[in-house]
Structure 1
Amino acid sequence: MNSFEKDWRFTRNSGKGFESAELDDSSWEKIDIPHDWAIAGPFSPDHDSEVIVDDPIEHTRKVFSHPGCTGGLPHVGKGFYRKHFELNLKPEQSARVEFDGIMSHAEVYCNGRYVGGRPYGYSSFALDLTPFVKNGTNLLAVSAENPPGASRWYPGAGIYRHARLIVAGRIHIAYCGIRVRTEGNRVTVRTEIENPSARKVVLTTRLIDPDGNEIASCQTSGDRLFHCEFIPDEVRRWQPGNPVLYKIVSILGDERHETGFGFRDLTFDSRKGFFINGIPMKFQGVCLHHDLGLAGAAVDRDITRHRLNQLASIGCNAIRTAHNPPDPELLDLCDELGFLVICEAFDEWKRPKTPRGYNLLFEEWSERDLRDMIRRDANHPSVIMWSIGNEIPEQYYPEGPEMTRRLCGICHEEDPSRPVTAGLNNVDDSITGGLFDAIDVKGFNYKPYIYARYHAAFPDAPIYSSESASTVSSRGEYSDRLFEESGRKDNLQVDSFDLCCADSATIPDHEFKGQDDNPFVMGEFVWTGFDYLGEPTPYHREWVRSSFFGIFDLCGIPKDRAWLYRSRWSKQPTLHLMPHWNWQGFEGKEIPVQCYSSFKTVELFVNGISMGSRTRNPKKLLGAYRHVWSRVPYSPGELKAVALDEKGKALAETSVFTAGAPEQLQIDCERCGNMVFAVVSVTDRNGNLCPHASERIDIESNGKILAVDAGDPGSAKPFPLPYVNAFHGKCAAWIRNPGKTLILAKAVLNGKTVQTEITAEA
């Protein structure tokens, strides 16, 4: 956190005159930014409840309320921020403020005078404060407003991304003014200077290798635009698994900028797929909304890093920023960790998906928002494509192709080195109208069964799955039969057998088969990597706060599906067994069992008795990518899966045991920078997870407890409260403390108070 982000004042209740220097803000809440004013709650079904005139479950035309569509948090309305800061500008200096994102309709005032703003909450922007500041104490005042009905998911609220106060010379490097391009070993650098005097200045540009050594340098003289070029003899290439980063250091007088970049070559081949640096690679990707689950929309580099590490652990190598420009720190981390990224600009154009969404801004702001996203993000080697939209309604209308060509033209003008894509859910109409032809790389949303047909008709069109699966599940939730329908249950959960999906979507197996049968398809982006706040499909009328789509739950605890994708994406051996084996009252009855495995053959045992083996069968959909025993007689004890080679030799095994009464708490923690992620499990005396445990768990720490939750989509417990009822035996907490961190968990289990503690080292 930079010093400018500390010691702000915030209120929801100011109104007219909030920008005045005479206003006494001493009673306002003292906060640091980034800040999400709504995440603390309270939850309520009345917050931004959507009215729907179409029932996707009953396929009828009805008017009904969708109370959980944006998460049920109080993000609608206005919020007001004030920052008092000292400044002592010399005549040759300038000052500007940079915001990575304010949600939304931001207005910025300095010393009572309007400076500027930005309506789109996902756009970054900078404002020149030089004409407005004075030497001494200054006041920056910011208002943000979220209209009702403006989003399809939880958007967050307020100054939720980073902000900076930049003091530089009157002649200085422009905001997002450095552009680095590579082709082969050649790197060109274009630098734009803000120069009100138009006098000649000298810019020094240095090329720094991954080891920190300067390998080339040039000096150029000019007044506004500067160009230089380097051609090193040898370079190390950036790619997933080997994310090698170089730097450009730009020096103008006392001003110094560092710009990271990487050398990599991209090929999008309609017949052979995607290549990076000549190496074939499939997109093993996920779509991500911008919230950080229980931590809310306020960006946090350490939490974001942890989430990316979780995705990498299952073999994920790509991110689609659904459906908006991302936080710049996400791209920094993707550069560093080696993720491919599709940067997406819009969820809607002029034709609305929401009553007060971006459609009201599109005409005036779309060009600027798109250009600004590309100018900000084009130096990132992780970014491989620009997406101009997701399931845009204009697919169905005659104006769609012209609008598509305009947006594609902006992308190509700003960045000729990357292709333009979009997520299409109506491919036929897109082809008929011409929108399909206007984009460079075709993104198909939930269309694995038509890949071959479209490739035959358009063999020169590169194809990938921009959105796949939309499978829904609750972590740890099971029934005594396999659901293959919407998954709706009386308890407002969804079974974790991964056979239920959104309307018009698919289960993972369909997408796997579509990709395997059509190797020209470049890969997939699963909807979604993590559960997120809002969009609680399949519950459109009931009060549920968060989605069921994630491979990981809202806390970041993996669901069973994580092992399904790991078995396909990762080179690490995988053997994962489900469900739990606590089915009291079902003795002698049949329970379905599944195993997600990277092994070809798996044998199942109940208390040492074989239930038979299953070998992957590509001709059988549910037998091609998972091992299924649909009817296994239940008997308490041990459920064991053994992976076998072709000769019947055991290669690996895993077991699930019937748990006894809950008696213990177990804490597992991971440090990520200044944050600690702790998962608490309720176990029996032998350490077996108690899958039905729902006791209240209290968390204590010498660090700041940021949020506590259990991943239950139906919970309305505010995240900052330091306790939660376990969900299927588990809960999690985010704790901020850069030093040695003590974490203590307490609960009443089986009539006794139990506690345990763990220390996370600095």
Structure 2
Amino acid sequence: VASANANVTFDIDNASDKARTITPSVTITDSEGKVVATRTGKPVTASARQVTPCTMELTIDNPALWSPDTPALYNLTVSLADDGNVIDSVDEHFGVRTFEYSADKGLTLNGKPIVLNGGCAHHDNGVLGASSYDAAEARKVSLMKQAGFNAVRTSHNPPSPAFLDECDRQGLIVIDESFDGWRDSKTPYDYSRDIDQWWDKDIESMVLRDRNHPSIFCWSIGNEVIERKRIEVVTTAHKLASLCRKLDPTRPVTSALAAWDSDWEIYDPLAAEHDIVGYNYMIHKAESDHQRVPERVMWQTESYPRNAFANWCKVNDNPYIIGDFVWTAIDYLGESGIGRFYYKGESEGEHYHRNQWPWHGAYCGDIDLTGWRKPISHYREMLYNPDKKLYMAVREPNGYYGEIKETQWSAYPTWESWNWPGHEGKPIDVEIVSHYPRVRLYLDDKLIGERNVSRDTGFKAVFHIPYTPGKLRATGIDTNGNEVEEVTLATAGKPAAIRLTPDRTNLSADNQDLAYIVIEVVDKDGNVVPIADNMIEVSVTGNGPLIATGSADLKDASSYKSPKRKAWKGRAIAVAKSSHNKGTIKVKATSPGLKSHTVTLKSVK
């Protein structure tokens, strides 16, 4: 791109009792602080007690383009001068990028084809609950990026500004969603009570607040509205979508449509109010819909985690399906029990069938509450990113802890573990996912077998073998027959120590910064013991408090404020916060019979 035009619109609010002559100026700098465009406007007469709108246009030569791989940002400074003296200024970051989409060509970003490997994300921050610290929002985006996602749907409300700032900085494409339901209630105190009075004000607040974020691709006006079969729903959708387009004509509008019965085609008038049609768990209708409405562009706004391969095939094979958003990217506190697997004898059914206590959160995320990526996450990333070529995990033997029962949003319990005491000699499944044409599996360097891997096998190879402690090694074989990559899983010894790994060691002394400290139970050689469930106590001293501990066990009902936490699958997490004082923060974890560990964090101004 040779150049980009930046149309800068701002208001001069003269709160004084007399008219003033104001000279506006605009400066754009790149990520290194270099001025790439600047302009001083003509003097403007700002009437007393009035708001005066202004527009200025600048040109950026050879702009750096924003994308998930290269999230280039610019800074815009608008200054107001009175008689040569700057009396006010404001800064805003923005990016330069171009999205285009059509049913025949799919989605392009800056002229290059892209498909969206997306995840839905709730507003909460796991063990912190609904608290929205900037560092927690940054971590949420970072976890999604590390898991291979390139897009997020903010279900079902606009996210915090800090979250969107991080999507801009780290490169995550956003569907910015306004409401869950509309006029028919889903719960007694939901938005249905307020929509008639507030919908226009809330849409306006969302769009005007968020429209400068380059990460935002699309506005969403709703999710699974109950009244979808009544003709009035088309009028509501038209009003919401029209206001979005009026306030921001540069972005498309979507919402998430669903059907809980055999009816689907009757929603065509509702779908027609959208620029991109969202399908919740209905993408199997895509081909027939395309035949009926060939110009329709669609994406799956919610999908079951277990259907990763089938949904990738839909996106990969059909240009009119531009992405898939799994429910969900990260486990969250809400919809208690969704995504759970359980054992025979425990409470039956889905999360919505009955109270599933002690489940107190959602286990349908690709990433658990501690930030650990479940095997389904690695599989999903590999489908959308052929550069990721090899991963191995082990399917929990059915009956080892009990007869396994699954639910709609669950994935079969699969672990990065070769610790199955008491199962010696009994069958167990080792699952390898790969983009290599063949894979081999070794146990203690003895070849177990070799398998072909391709799309026909779902890019998976499953080895059914008797369990023997030792070291598993999976290798990827290229087209020349060479073993070019390997991954391993080894049987860990008995728990011997605790290992703490903070995500950062330097914090800002602003009473807001956070450090997430992963807690692992390890054997004498430093290997994580994936079956460890030791009780761990965390203490924090110095210039900052401990604000949370947790594990991925959503049946552990102990308080997230408690300093004591039982490890689950050998892992837990703690969160320390800075104070207003600079200095050190010492985090120590102890457990009876285990070697303790202490890490030191620095809180700096």
1:717 shift after superposition: 1.1
Aligned partners of 2:392 and 2:430 also within 8 Å: no
- The corresponding residue for 1:611 is 448
- The corresponding residue for 1:315 is 148
CA distance in 1, matches of 2:225, 2:433: 35
* Aligned 1:321-720 pairs, distance under 5 A: 321-426=154-259, 429=264, 431-432=266-267, 434-469=269-304, 471=305, 499=306, 507-535=307-335, 536-537=337-338, 538-539=350-351, 540-543=354-357, 544-570=359-385, 571-578=387-394, 579=415, 580-619=417-456, 623-629=457-463, 631-671=464-504, 673=507, 674-702=513-541, 703-720=544-561
- Quick one: which of 589, 599, 603 aligns to 1:758? 599
- The corresponding residue for 2:346 is none
Q: 1:416 to 1:758 in 2, by over 3 A?
A: same
1:413 shift after superposition: 0.8
CA distance in 2, matches of 1:430, 1:359: 26
CA distance in 1, matches of 2:303, 2:284: 12
1:600 shift after superposition: 3.5
Aligned partners of 2:312 and 2:324 also within 8 Å: no
Q: 1:236 to 1:637 in 2, by over 3 A?
A: closer
1:366 shift after superposition: 0.7
Look up the equivalent residue of 1:717 and give its one-letter code.
S
CA distance in 1, matches of 2:562, 2:198: 40
- The corresponding residue for 2:345 is none
- Quick one: which of 49, 57, 67 aligns to 1:239? 67
Q: 1:232 to 1:582 in 2, by over 3 A?
A: closer
CA distance in 2, matches of 1:760, 1:304: 20
CA distance in 2, matches of 1:635, 1:317: 39
> Is 2:109 the counterpart of 1:276?
yes
- The corresponding residue for 2:34 is 213
Aligned partners of 2:309 and 2:380 also within 8 Å: no
CA distance in 2, matches of 1:318, 1:685: 41
- Quick one: which of 585, 590, 601 aligns to 1:746? 590
CA distance in 2, matches of 1:572, 1:424: 33
1:229 shift after superposition: 1.3
Deviations 1:685-735 (A, max 9, x none): 233322221110111233421211111111111112112000111111111
Q: 1:551 to 1:432 in 2, by over 3 A?
A: closer
Q: 1:361 to 1:600 in 2, by over 3 A?
A: farther
Aligned alpha-carbon RMSD (Å): 2.3
- The corresponding residue for 2:77 is 249
Q: 1:589 to 1:454 in 2, by over 3 A?
A: same
Q: 1:241 to 1:716 in 2, by over 3 A?
A: same
Q: 1:305 to 1:665 in 2, by over 3 A?
A: same
Q: 1:668 to 1:600 in 2, by over 3 A?
A: farther
How many residues align structurally? 539
Look up the equivalent residue of 2:62 and give its one-letter code.
E
Q: Unaligned stretches of 5+ in structure 2? A: 47-51, 82-86, 339-349, 395-414, 508-512
Q: 1:297 to 1:352 in 2, by over 3 A?
A: same
> Is 2:108 the counterpart of 1:287?
no
Secondary structure of 2:519's partner?
strand
1:640 shift after superposition: 2.1
Deviations 1:113-154 (A, max 9, x none): xxxxxxxxxxxxxxxxxxxxxxxxxxxxxxxxxxxxxxxxxx
TM-score (normalised: structure 1): 0.67
1:411 shift after superposition: 0.7
CA distance in 2, matches of 1:369, 1:238: 28
* Aligned 1:89-238 pairs, distance under 5 A: 185-195=4-14, 197=17, 199-210=19-30, 211-214=32-35, 215-220=37-42, 221-223=44-46, 224-238=52-66
Secondary structure of 1:232's partner?
strand
Q: 1:234 to 1:513 in 2, by over 3 A?
A: closer
Secondary structure of 2:26's partner?
strand
CA distance in 2, matches of 1:460, 1:512: 21
Secondary structure of 2:425's partner?
coil
Aligned partners of 2:362 and 2:554 also within 8 Å: yes
TM-score (normalised: structure 2): 0.84
Secondary structure of 1:434's partner?
helix
1:468 shift after superposition: 2.2
- The corresponding residue for 1:101 is none
Deviations 1:181-200 (A, max 9, x none): x9971121221233455735
CA distance in 1, matches of 2:18, 2:179: 37
CA distance in 2, matches of 1:641, 1:761: 40
Work out the percentage of aligned pairs sharing the same amino acid: 29
1:433 shift after superposition: 5.4
CA distance in 2, matches of 1:573, 1:203: 58
Mean Cα deviation higher: 658-667 or 258-267: 658-667
Secondary structure of 1:185's partner?
strand
1:431 shift after superposition: 4.6
Deviations 1:33-82 (A, max 9, x none): xxxxxxxxxxxxxxxxxxxxxxxxxxxxxxxxxxxxxxxxxxxxxxxxxx
Mean Cα deviation higher: 561-570 or 319-328: 561-570
Look up the equivalent residue of 1:242 and give its one-letter code.
T
Mean Cα deviation higher: 734-743 or 706-715: 734-743
Aligned partners of 2:228 and 2:267 also within 8 Å: no
Q: 1:354 to 1:337 in 2, by over 3 A?
A: same
- The corresponding residue for 1:133 is none
- The corresponding residue for 1:727 is 568
Aligned partners of 2:497 and 2:594 also within 8 Å: no
1:573 shift after superposition: 4.4
1:429 shift after superposition: 3.8
Secondary structure of 1:449's partner?
helix
Secondary structure of 1:411's partner?
helix
Q: 1:237 to 1:729 in 2, by over 3 A?
A: same
Q: 1:559 to 1:389 in 2, by over 3 A?
A: same
1:287 shift after superposition: 0.9
- The corresponding residue for 1:478 is none
Deviations 1:481-509 (A, max 9, x none): xxxxxxxxxxxxxxxxxx5xxxxxxx212
Deviations 1:259-293 (A, max 9, x none): 11112111012112111111111112211111010
CA distance in 1, matches of 2:331, 2:267: 35
1:386 shift after superposition: 0.4
1:432 shift after superposition: 4.1
Aligned partners of 1:639 and 1:655 also within 8 Å: yes
Look up the equivalent residue of 1:624 and give its one-letter code.
G
1:446 shift after superposition: 1.8
Look up the equivalent residue of 2:67 and give its one-letter code.
Q
Q: 1:322 to 1:757 in 2, by over 3 A?
A: same
1:612 shift after superposition: 2.1
